[in-house]
Amino acid sequence: MIDIATIRILIEYTDWSNARLLEGAGTCSDEQLDRDLQIGPGTLRRILLHIYNGELVWFNRWRGVVENKWPSEQEKVSIAELRVRFEINARERDRWLGTLSPQDAARVQRYRDSKGSLFEAPLGDMLVQGVMHTKHHQAQGVNALKRLGAPWPELDYMYRVRKPI
């Protein structure tokens, strides 16, 4: 099982990637943000909202909130507002992560999926899923930016951590 310290590193990387993705999206017009690209949730705006919603839903599941309602992705939220939402969620999530001990990774949590089915899983596995869900949709976001002709970020982990010699 993955340890909490590694999860924190992956979440920091995910936050860095989200910020870079939002930076690229901030160069897009509303028409570009709402153009149906037929990938993932469809439009770049919806991809970004889906990433945010997924992080919020998984954060709730990690804390043992057993619900299955997925937030709407029809909202025409601005990139600036999305940045604020991501930052608020990250602060609350980081505060909560700070309360975890290494043993908490093995703790079994219950949650409902978006269809209402009840599941149990170790918290460590659920933390990994939250990160992986975001990474999957970040790749869709980069693809969308490329297709829209907008500046797109390099999100590879090594791009973030490598140092020239």
Per-residue pLDDT 10s for the chain (165 aa) are 689 999 999 999 999 999 999 999 999 999 999 999 999 999 999 999 999 999 999 999 999 887 778 888 888 999 999 999 999 999 999 999 999 999 999 999 999 888 888 999 999 999 999 999 999 999 999 999 999 999 999 998 888 888 778
Which are the contacts of 134, defined by CB distance < 8 A and separation ≥ 6? 14, 17, 18, 51, 54, 55
- CA separation for the pair 95, 90 (Å, rounded): 8
CA distance 56 to 62: 10
pLDDT of amino acid 107? 95
Q: Which of 56, 10, 4 is nearest to 160 (CA)?
A: 10
Instruction: Note the pTM of the prediction, 2 decimals.
Output: 0.93
What's residue 116's pLDDT? 86
Report all structural domains of the chain as residue ranges with CATH numbers, in order of start.
4-161 (1.20.120.450)
